[in-house]
Structure 1
Amino acid sequence: MTRKTVAVVVGRWQLVHLGQEALFQAAFGLADEVIAVLGSSHRARDPRNPFVHEERRQMLMANLTPAQRERLHVLPVRDYFDDQRWNAAVAMGVQALAGEGADIVLVGHHKDHTSYYLHGFPRWRQQLVDRLAEVDATAMREVFFEADDPDAALAVMAPYVSAPVRAWLQAWSRLPEYQRRKTEHAAVQAYRKKYTAVAYMTGDAVVTVGDHVLLVRRNGPFGEGLWALPGGHLDRGEKLVACAIRELIEETGFPLMPASILATLAGVETFEDPLRSPRGRLISMAHHFKFGPMASLPEVTSSDETKESRWFHRDELAAMEPQLFEDHFVILDHFLGLIED
């Protein structure tokens, strides 16, 4: 009996271009079925990830024949910023879609340092193909989101992006989300010009009272309206734990003295993945301030930097992943164990 062959293609596809489409066509030529592992799924939009995973699935499907669509499976996978957990999630998801006994082949090409994932699945066969187009999604996003006229941008992109994807992008550019993405893209470009050091340090506060967690709703220009941990940039001469406590009080009006907050410090962890923030290399030291149950939750307020501050029960947090800023869901998961692997 002949084993079913399943090709796996991994990517984010944050604007699908001809090189990526050619990679899929190679995969269809090799296998009975194709699994598209859609990275950076379930998270909130940002300048590096302007399209949610359902929109990226639509772009991928736009270029396929009806028969190929029947053969394609899409596997959304979140960012863990932990290679071991990410590899395990991909392997488990692929196995579930491919079924027992399938011959799995990983199809890809060595683009740059981000292609190291190709070595994370030694049990699968690997089929490397030549890079099929001198274009990348980052350049296409810059053209699309920096142009005054999206239709003119799409005309410039014609040699690199297929007609069906350009038609999809043209329709999407008429939605309010396009202008929000343009605004945040411009804010990130300005931020990167202002902050040019190799890296910057920030302090974040994970504050729990019993089963409740304190979050703030951001007031732009980055992550407008998203929920986040209280935190911010380290001041000159300041300790990181002092930074986290200062930002907590400034952003939420937390009604306890710094010494009382410090006495509840239960854990500290560094989050330093180079891609955790589209603004640049921001290294965060997250501090877990753990209070026991109280008769009533401490009263908190908003600030100039936040639209509101609010307590959430930890059971609410898993469903909030697409509403959380940058990697703050990952930080919360580290301290509170939100993801069931």
Structure 2
Amino acid sequence: MKKKFDYIVYIGRFQPFHNAHAEIVEEAQQLADRVILLIGSHNQPRTIENPWTTNERHEMIYQTLGWDSTGLTDYVADRRYNDQHWVKSVQNTVASLIEKDLNKRPRNDPLNQGYPERTKKPKIAIIGHKHDETSEYLEMFPQWEFIEVGSIDGVHATDIRAAYFDPQCPRGRRFWTPTCDGTLVDEANEFIKDHVPSVIFKHLISWRASNEYAYLDDQYQFIKNYDGSKYDPSYNTTDAVVIQSGHVLLVQRRAQPGKGLWALPGGFINRHERVIPAMLRELREETKLKVPEPVLKGSIKDSNVFDDPYRSLRGRTFTHAYLIELKDGVPPQEETK
């Protein structure tokens, strides 16, 4: 029976590869002839966020899945400050894997029709779960159909790493407790065992005796006990300076400080948010400006940081301002305050 897709792309850090990952792979295998698994955060230094190297994750995945020719695996490096570069890297990697796969297929395969030009384009999809802002990459490939998978058991790799590095006081959602008690060690191990494939569980337990684990455990304890109270608190905000036909877009403050005054649309940057997305979010929330996001991004002409220590009554506040110049036209008359 012919499957709906020729290839499904699944991207993840897999730190570590757990049962929910395996279930997503299984669902992808039911929908496509080939599953392309891209291991992210390639060539990163070991940290408590990225404990295992690309090769170690690759080995754990293969030991779990036992893939044959229906599974294709490669890696992709992070490009934290250049999404377009990262997207292009993913597209090129996928294209290369598909090319290698097609070359292994017989010439009479439907996807090799018209070889070597191959007139038939493979049908590609991308699969994943949009659980927070770290999943925004799933929307960066409009040429591939997106397959949404729900939260399978509510457990993420973050929870597993928390229980793994701090078994006496796990930080995972199911195990957080205000008191640290050694009796939780076995409970934490059971939690890990319940949510990772058996071959990976064995690897994780034995890996605790390695020098690499000792290094990361030291790092974990430093972060856990880190005291930043000796530094004065500071805040990060962002503002949008939107200009069209000589007009500047302003909002009227609804609350103190400065209630009733006119100001640039902007606000605080969320903890896990980048600056430009925060600026665009605040701009939409405060003005309801009906300009597509790609147009706004493409209209950014300049940016600057304003850091006068006394610029805000709230305390030390840095604001990252972006100049957006829209094409000439009649500026919208908004009543939003």
Q: TM-score, normalized by length of structure 2?
A: 0.54
CA shift for structure 1 position 22: 1.0
Determine helix, strand or coil for the equivalent of 2:193: coil
Aligned to 1:86: 86
CA shift for structure 1 position 102: 2.3
Change (3 A) 1:198 1:127: farther
Aligned to 1:282: none
Aligned to 1:164: 199
- Rounded Cα–Cα distance in structure 2 between residues aligned with 1:198 and 1:98: 49
Aligned to 2:212: 177
Aligned to 1:112: 132
**Rg larger in structure:** 2
Deviations 1:109-163 (A, max 9, x none): 2111111111111111221122212101111101101126998343332222221
Aligned to 1:187: 222
For the Cα contact (< 8 Å) 2:133–2:272, is it kept in 1?
no
Aligned to 1:243: none
Q: Which amino acid aligns with 1:105?
A: A
- Rounded Cα–Cα distance in structure 2 between residues aligned with 1:33 and 1:141: 30
Give the % identical residues: 27
Determine helix, strand or coil for the equivalent of 2:226: helix
Matches within 5 A, 1:253-268: none
- Rounded Cα–Cα distance in structure 2 between residues aligned with 1:114 and 1:50: 18
- Rounded Cα–Cα distance in structure 2 between residues aligned with 1:62 and 1:193: 42
Change (3 A) 1:24 1:139: same
Determine helix, strand or coil for the equivalent of 2:8: strand
Q: CA RMSD in A?
A: 3.0
Matched, 1:59 2:79: no
Matched, 1:133 2:153: yes
For the Cα contact (< 8 Å) 1:53–1:76, is it kept in 2?
yes
CA shift for structure 1 position 83: 0.8
- Rounded Cα–Cα distance in structure 2 between residues aligned with 1:175 and 1:72: 30
Q: Which segments of structure 1 move beyond 3 Å, counting only runs of 4 or more?
A: 1-4, 148-153, 192-200, 273-276
Q: Which amino acid aligns with 2:77?
A: R
Matches within 5 A, 1:311-330: none
Aligned to 1:76: 75
Change (3 A) 1:192 1:83: farther
- Rounded Cα–Cα distance in structure 1 between residues aligned with 2:64 and 2:135: 24
Aligned to 2:26: 25
CA shift for structure 1 position 192: 6.6
Aligned to 1:12: 13
Change (3 A) 1:70 1:173: farther
For the Cα contact (< 8 Å) 1:3–1:102, is it kept in 2?
no
Structure 1: stretches of 5+ with no match in the other structure:
201-272, 277-284, 286-341
Aligned to 2:308: none
Instruction: Report how many residues are paired.
Output: 203
Change (3 A) 1:151 1:27: farther
Deviations 1:227-286 (A, max 9, x none): xxxxxxxxxxxxxxxxxxxxxxxxxxxxxxxxxxxxxxxxxxxxxx9599xxxxxxxx9x
Q: Which amino acid aligns with 2:154?
A: E
Q: Which amino acid aligns with 1:119?
A: E
Structure 2: stretches of 5+ with no match in the other structure:
100-117, 169-181, 237-270, 275-304, 306-337
- Rounded Cα–Cα distance in structure 1 between residues aligned with 2:195 and 2:35: 23
Change (3 A) 1:151 1:171: farther
Aligned to 1:103: 123
- Rounded Cα–Cα distance in structure 1 between residues aligned with 2:61 and 2:227: 31
For the Cα contact (< 8 Å) 1:9–1:107, is it kept in 2?
yes
